[in-house]
Each structure stands twice: as C-alpha cells, then as structure tokens.
C-alpha cells in the first residue's frame, strides 16, 4: 500500500517528476532565506526504502511575500508561515500572488470570517477546518485556473450558453407555410429524381 497504517501519515506524491519539483522548491526556500523549522530535503527517515515518492513534510517560517515558495504553487507537503500584525496585512499577503486556488482561515470571530470570505481572492475558502459538501464547486481564480468542477457550476462547464434575441411575435410575421425557399429549384429536383430511378 502507498499509505502507512493509522491516521497520522502523508502519502507519497504522484511521480518522480513531482518529487523532484518539490525538492527544488524546498531548496529555493532555504536559498532565499526562509527559516527551515521542520522537514527539508530528501525522504522521511522511516520511508527511505519504501515504494513511492515520499517527501519530508516541511515547514518554513519567516517567509517574505517575494519568496518563490510564497508566490508559486508547490503541490506538496510544504507549509510557509509568516507573521502579521493586522487583518489588512494578512489579507494583502494572501492576495499578493498570481494564484488563487484556496485560502484557509482560523478565527472565532464571525464578522471576520464573513468579511474575509468576501475579500480573499480565491476559488475556495475554508473556515475553521470546515469541509464543503460534495456538491460544492471546486476551482480557483487567476493562474490557478478558470472554471469549476462539481455541483451545478461543474455541470455548466459542459453546457453551451446561447443568447438568442427576437423571439417575440411580430405583427408582420409570415406563416411558415407561406414561405418560399428561393434556394430550391423544382426542375433540378425532378431531374435528380429521374436519374436516381
């Protein structure tokens, strides 16, 4: 199995290519001056010989907004932590990157949850570890992609929306039986019928 027994584990990443990509980001975090708090390069000690591309869960602190690990999507078990003093500062940092898949907010203040839900620029916002229901739309904004999967919005991705105007009945409308199609030549039709017979 790709997973360890029990609930406290992180499975492997999908491929060697993804593993190497995550290692590159961890090295960039170190090179750009973030404080490595846990994890780092390589595989977890207890999984060095296991099948699968396991990555050490990594935590960086004192990250700055201009660091690559704060500006790009890593898609691996890497967390970047940076301090803030005010809600506006946190909001500015959260929105200051080209991506916008998801935001996670922890607060016991209802007004703050509602305010941040409106102001954070992402496709999904999870408050206090609450999970969306299976019909909730999944997707991001900006470089995290457009469109949605799941729910009604996901189904709409497979629909073609068409705008048609002029459906209302007009006073001078012609009945369909009175319409003559100028493109049809009766003589041509007769000749074609004879040649087929």
In this predicted structure, what is the pLDDT of residue 193?
A: 47
pTM, full prediction: 0.71
In this predicted structure, what is the pLDDT of residue 2?
A: 44
In this predicted structure, what is the pLDDT of residue 107?
A: 94
pLDDT along the chain (197 residues), means of 10: 58 96 98 98 93 96 96 95 95 94 94 96 93 85 88 86 84 83 59 51
- Cα(144)–Cα(115) distance, rounded to whole angstroms? 22
Strand 124-127 versus strand 102-105 pairing type: parallel
In this predicted structure, what is the pLDDT of residue 74?
A: 95
In this predicted structure, what is the pLDDT of residue 194?
A: 55
Residue 148 burial (CB count, 10 A): 19
In this predicted structure, what is the pLDDT of residue 121?
A: 96
What is the DSSP secondary-structure string of the chain?
--S-SSSS----BS-HHHHHHHHHHHHHHHHTT-EEEE--SS--GGGTTSSSB----EEEES--TTSHHHHS---SSEEE----SSHHHHHHHHHSSS--SEEEE--S-HHHHHHHHHHS-SSEEEETTPPPPTTS-B--SGGG-SS-BSHHHHHHTT---------S--TTPPPGGG---TT--HHHHHHHHHHH-
């Amino acid at each position: 199995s790709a997973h360890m027994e029990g609930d406290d584990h992180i499975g492997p990443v999908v491929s060697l290519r993804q593993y190497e990509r995550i290692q590159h980001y961890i090295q960039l975090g170190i090179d750009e001056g973030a404080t490595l708090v846990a994890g780092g390069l390589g595989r977890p000690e207890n999984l060095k010989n296991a099948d699968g591309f396991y990555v050490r869960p990594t935590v960086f602190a004192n990250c700055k907004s201009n660091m690559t690990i704060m500006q790009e999507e890593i898609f691996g078990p890497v967390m970047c932590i940076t301090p803030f003093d005010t809600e506006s500062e946190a909001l500015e940092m959260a929105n200051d990157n080209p991506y916008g898949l998801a935001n996670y907010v922890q607060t016991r203040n209802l007004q703050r949850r509602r305010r941040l839900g409106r102001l954070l620029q992402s496709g999904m916002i999870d408050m206090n570890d609450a999970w969306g229901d299976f019909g909730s739309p999944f997707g991001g904004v900006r470089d995290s992609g457009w469109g949605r999967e799941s729910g009604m919005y996901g189904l709409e991705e497979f629909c073609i929306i068409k705008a048609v105007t002029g459906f209302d009945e007009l006073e001078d409308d012609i009945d369909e039986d009175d319409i003559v199609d100028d493109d049809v030549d009766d003589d041509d039709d007769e000749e074609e019928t004879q040649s087929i017979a």
